[in-house]
Structure 1
Amino acid sequence: MNANQRGLFVYVVQGLLCLLLFSLVPLQAQENFGTILGTVTDATGAVVPDAKISASTPAFPQPLETVSDSQGKYVLPQVPIGTYSVTVSKVGFAAVRQQQLVVNLGSRVTYNPKLEVGQVTQVVEVEAAAISLDTTSSRTSTNISSQQFDGIPRGRTFNSILALAPGVRQEVKGGGAGVGGFQVDGASGSENSFIVDGVDVSDVRRGSLRAQAAIPLEFIQEVQVKSSGFEAEYGGATGGVINVATKGGSNSFHGQGYLQFTNSAMNA
């Protein structure tokens, strides 16, 4: 082997090592938000371009803003989960405000406002709920919010509520791996992916949830269990994808106390 061949061999080996190292690094999933989208029209059904759409919530100091395109369509991507007030306005029309628009983890909320001719200073309040429906995806998923699991018996960590989703049950044989395995629609516990705030925290060898990644429910805002038809970024999972969003801060001071007591005398 001459010097040129040796140099080429070294470059090939270095390239293969780099690819191997990158493949071992857990990739960040992109979905940790929701989306608000729709079409702005007037009273006659004609589309309204260049309308300003603003989504605000008490949890954030600045609203999310965009404008409708030439076809009246708009998209607010990567909207943090929460409850929003969406205001749509344009010169020559009365502003429309949609209250209590709920954005869940991974949801696509369709809101199609209709503007009436009037002054911008006029505001039409809408209380009807917007529709969270994505007709472009075949994904099957279940969202479990903190409002739902706060009122039911549960364990300390978020994995204790996964059985609330259809098709999910604990896999007894996976009990020695982290906090135990979970079957989703019959797949083994090693075929799942656990995502917390966009980061894959699954055990690299077993695919189970590591004990240190089993976050207490007091810190969880929402849990989403995807059982089929999920996106390409979760290609490493052939069972289910458990997507978890933790709570954010707020402008109010609050806290919570917890006491746990066990004793053999309490056993049945």
Structure 2
Amino acid sequence: MKTITTIFVLCLLAVAAVSAQDSRGQIIGRVNDASGAAVPAAEVKVTNAATGVTLSSTTNEQGNYEALYLQPGIYTVRATATGFKSYARENLEVRVSDRLNVDISLELGAVTETVNVTATTPLLESTNANLGDVVDERRITELPLSGGNAITLMRFTTGLNDYAAPNHPSLAAGMDAVSNVGVNGTRGGNVEFSVNGVPNMASTFAAYSPPADMVQEFKVQTSTYDASVGHVGGGNVNLVLKSGTNKFHGSLYEFHTNNSLQATDIFQRQFYYDPASGPQTPEKFKTVSPQTILNRFGGTIGGPVWVPKVYNGKSRTFWIYGYEGFRRPGVERGNYFYTVPTAAQRSGDFSALLGANQCTNATATVGVCGGAFTTPLMVTDNTGRSLQA
């Protein structure tokens, strides 16, 4: 029984691993000499520039190596082998779910000598056929975000159709609106969202979007040929959170707007200047443009895990914390509609709803309505036709 339980748990873990798209990247390649021959037993080290975390790999008999589970960021690749000069390549960017091929050519010489590779063309991911775009930290930081939601930048991806209500920044927290997109003509609700490779779905829409200052970058795939992201008919949006680094860092922010900072729209102006809706008074304007206040505030902080005289997690263990609050006191439009009947309406007099219209009943002549109605109530339109209300 214990063996069966163990096998069952392992199967569940395997299914979970297959069903999630890993947001971490990989660097693979081959180490060879100047003649193109493979260099076995070479040591390759991949170091994250921000955290100092280093992953080591040793080449096999064919000279191949691989560095797996790399958090998105900037890396330095170093290679050493007996009888060859050391190799170093800096500023190598690994993005969300990247699988980069970096071949290394070693020159004969002493290990103490180093060949630095600095001027190279940007790497193209040639190990799969996925199409899409990566929205990096710079764009998240410098471009305006609707409602402060980083995911809204996915709308700039080629082939993506936005079905959400336009120009409504206060809906940024409503993920059913923000994530209502389609890819290459598919219907809304056919895009899978994930955070750090973990599914982030509530029905057919994204369940949650972290504060923008917590987002490292995200990848929008519009053609998902990889089976790990083939769960839906549309695309895939894989978002990666920031990590703590070897230095303590953080941010604080506050975004504020109110009705005094916003111009009235065409419908508000039409109602305010319409004589039929009453004279133009300050009280009327308050119903047209009522109190509307939006406050979005928050902050982040992170760094290495450090307990004085107990543990120093520099280049090993990190933490980060983020918070965002949203306050929206006020009303959306004003009290245009009343659902509680007036005293006259409760006694049967609904003439106030007709305004200046003419009305009559079956036995009386046409006149201005007033008092309780008898049955049937007749109303005349602008052409003089008599209609039963």
Same fold (TM over 0.5): yes
Partner residue, 1:29: 20
Partner residue, 2:77: 86
Structure 1: which amino acid aligns with 2:224?
G
2:138 is paired with a residue of what secondary structure? helix
2:152 is paired with a residue of what secondary structure? helix
Partner residue, 2:224: 229
Structure-2 change in CA distance of 1:99 and 1:260 (3 Å):
same
Mapped partners of 2:69, 2:120: distance in 1: 20
The answer on whether the counterparts of 1:92 and 1:117 sit within 8 Å (CA) in structure 2 is: yes
Worse overlay, 163-172 or 193-202: 163-172
2:234 is paired with a residue of what secondary structure? coil
Determine which of 239, 263, 266 is the counterpart of 2:261: 266
The answer on whether the counterparts of 2:164 and 2:177 sit within 8 Å (CA) in structure 1 is: no
Do structure 1's residue 220 and structure 2's residue 215 form an aligned pair?
A: yes
Partner residue, 1:251: 246
Partner residue, 2:153: 161
Mapped partners of 2:177, 2:253: distance in 1: 21
Mapped partners of 2:185, 2:260: distance in 1: 38
Partner residue, 1:172: 164
Partner residue, 2:117: 126
Mapped partners of 1:129, 1:79: distance in 2: 21
Structure-2 change in CA distance of 1:32 and 1:134 (3 Å):
same
Structure-2 change in CA distance of 1:177 and 1:258 (3 Å):
closer
Q: Unaligned stretches of 5+ in structure 2?
A: 1-12, 264-389
Q: Normalising to structure 1: TM-score of the pair?
A: 0.82
1:77 is paired with a residue of what secondary structure? strand
Mapped partners of 2:126, 2:95: distance in 1: 16
Determine which of 62, 66, 73 is the counterpart of 1:75: 66
Structure 2: which amino acid aligns with 1:159?
I
Do structure 1's residue 208 and structure 2's residue 200 form an aligned pair?
A: no
Determine which of 66, 73, 87 is the counterpart of 2:57: 66
Partner residue, 1:239: 234
Q: Deviations over 1:59-84 (max 9, x none)?
A: 33441111112111212122111111
The answer on whether the counterparts of 1:41 and 1:47 sit within 8 Å (CA) in structure 2 is: yes
Partner residue, 1:100: 91
Structure 2: which amino acid aligns with 1:172?
A
Q: Deviations over 1:87-106 (max 9, x none)?
A: 01001101000011111111
Do structure 1's residue 144 and structure 2's residue 135 form an aligned pair?
A: yes
Q: How do 1:40-51 residues align onto structure 2 when only pairs under 5 Å count?
A: 40-51=31-42
Worse overlay, 30-39 or 131-140: 131-140
RMSD: 2.5
1:173 Cα deviation (Å)? 7.0
Mapped partners of 1:26, 1:51: distance in 2: 31
Q: Unaligned stretches of 5+ in structure 1?
A: 1-21
Structure-2 change in CA distance of 1:185 and 1:243 (3 Å):
same
Q: Normalising to structure 2: TM-score of the pair?
A: 0.58
Partner residue, 1:3: none
Do structure 1's residue 188 and structure 2's residue 180 form an aligned pair?
A: no
1:235 Cα deviation (Å)? 2.8
Mapped partners of 2:21, 2:115: distance in 1: 35
Worse overlay, 67-76 or 237-246: 67-76
Mapped partners of 1:142, 1:40: distance in 2: 30
Structure-2 change in CA distance of 1:135 and 1:171 (3 Å):
same
Mapped partners of 1:131, 1:47: distance in 2: 24
The answer on whether the counterparts of 2:165 and 2:177 sit within 8 Å (CA) in structure 1 is: no
Q: Deviations over 1:226-265 (max 9, x none)?
A: 1113321223211110000000001222222212211223
Q: Greater RCO between the two (CA within 8 Å, min separation 6)?
A: 1
Mapped partners of 2:44, 2:100: distance in 1: 14
1:116 is paired with a residue of what secondary structure? coil
Identity of paired residues, percent?
Answer: 27
For the pair shown, which has the larger CA radius of gyration, 1 or 2?
Answer: 2
Worse overlay, 191-200 or 51-60: 51-60
The answer on whether the counterparts of 1:197 and 1:245 sit within 8 Å (CA) in structure 2 is: yes
